Amino acid sequence: MRYLLCWLASLLPLAAMSAETAAQDHPIAIVIHGGAGTISRKDMPPQLEAEYRATLKQALEAGYAVLKRGGASLDAVQAAIRVMEDSPLFNAGKGAVFDHAGKNELDASLMDGATLKAGAVAAVQHIKNPIDLARLVMDKTPHVLLVGEGAEEFAKAQGMPLMPASYFYTQRRWDELQQALKDEGGKAGSREIHPGISGRHYGTVGAVALDRQGRLAAGTSTGGLTNKYYGRVGDSPIIGAGTYADDRSCGASGTGTGEYFIRLGLTKAVCDLMLYKGLNVAQAADQLVMHDLVQLGGMDTGGVIAMDRDGHIAMPFNTEGMYRGYIDTAGKEAVFIYMDE
């Protein structure tokens, strides 16, 4: 009997190893968005459209390369988002929109579906890649969300360089703020008037990835809304609103009018419909974006990307367009901008 037990025990590591090998073979996939909004074909110069598509492709491929070499979904999400943060095309990192006070205030978060660990930063003004700082908050602190000065002090302590405000300046975003201020009759720098949230352009970026171990991760990064009140924080750094990941259901990242996403706990609601109600990822994402969000805020309020553990992808939006794309479990790559593609 003792020999039999010893023999069985000697087999255990083998069994564990083959389970691990099997886990390493899980299909991989990535889905990203670069914001939803009034994006119409007739107003889009062909050159700009080509640049958007190329950068979406570059972001997808940066994330996918991580997954392909067996890297973690969290690292893939960061890699994809970093590309979009570094591009002036998107409202995240360089190219972020200006708030009512004429400043760039950035928000970002990411979440690990395997452990439910999460990290986020809000209202930072000098961080080149807020998604990387969110990761450090997750990995190096017992906290989930750091804001403003405290977040930047933490970044400095972690050896992250702080960027001058001028790094984030782009003429296009400045002009958008001027237009928004003109529409409401205010001027940049004033904190007196309660600004209206203008425009229906959301350039927020996000990613959801599935790695060889079957782990989901999601992340989101944004400059928020043009002409937002100084100090306003949207849904993007709020876990459960703009970002959520749970290996038992899905990973999700949103873009749109953050206030509605916060009030609906939108990304977690997508996951919960799957977990507790048995909906599939397409049904769950649709329910939130095409029904609940529309009911609360009307059309043009945003969209979401979501992916389940088998790599099924959903990308519903109630706006005219949404910059989006994926590389699916079959390795098929696609990027889209408009509703009709």
Residues engaged in binding ligand ASP (CB under 6 A): 35, 91, 202-204, 222, 224-225, 234-236, 242, 255-258
Task: Write out the catalytic residue numbers.
Answer: 204
**Residue 227: partners with Cβ closer than 8 Å, 6 or more residues away:** 97, 98, 99, 100, 177, 180, 181, 184, 195, 196, 197, 198, 199
CB of 289 to ligand ASP, least distance (A): 13
Q: Cα Rg for the chain, rounded, in angstroms?
A: 21
CB of 258 to ligand ASP, least distance (A): 2
CB of 80 to ligand ASP, least distance (A): 16
At 30, give phi and psi (nearest 5°).
-145, 145
Question: Which residue lies nearer to ligand ASP by CB, 214 or 302?
Answer: 302
**How wide is the angle at C-alpha 82 spanned by C-alphas 126 and 268, nearest 5°?**
95
Contact 110, 74 (CB under 8 A): yes
CB of 232 to ligand ASP, least distance (A): 8
CB of 156 to ligand ASP, least distance (A): 25
β-pair partners for 252:
244, 306
